[in-house]
Amino acid sequence: MAHTFEELIEKQRAADQAHARVEELRDQYGPPAHNPWPEHQTEVYETAWRAWRELARDVQEAVTEYAKDQGTARNQVEADVRQAVRRTGAEG
């Protein structure tokens, strides 16, 4: 599946939002090693964590495919996407 650069930005933005949710839950619940979480909190956290990891994996796969299709270095595409996300995030 061919991806556009704009699609890469949207995928990265979604992964970043999912990661922020995981961090928010960690802050809210506290470290589980010091205070074990109830089952509900564990389920919510694990669901958020899996969503983040899946979105991050999708971004990596899409960036790799895009770089290959464009004949560009993968790390450069990744850097360009992250820069575009930061730039568009500052404008929004």
Q: How high is the mean pLDDT in each 10-residue block of the chain (92 residues)?
A: 89 97 94 84 95 98 96 97 88 51
What is the reported pTM? 0.87
Count of domains in the chain?
1
What residues contact residue 67 under an 8 Å CB cut-off, 6+ apart?
Answer: 73, 74, 76, 77
What residues contact residue 91 under an 8 Å CB cut-off, 6+ apart?
Answer: none
Which amino acid is it at 39? E
Find the domain containing 84 and state its range: 5-91
**Token code pair at residue 37:** 């979480």
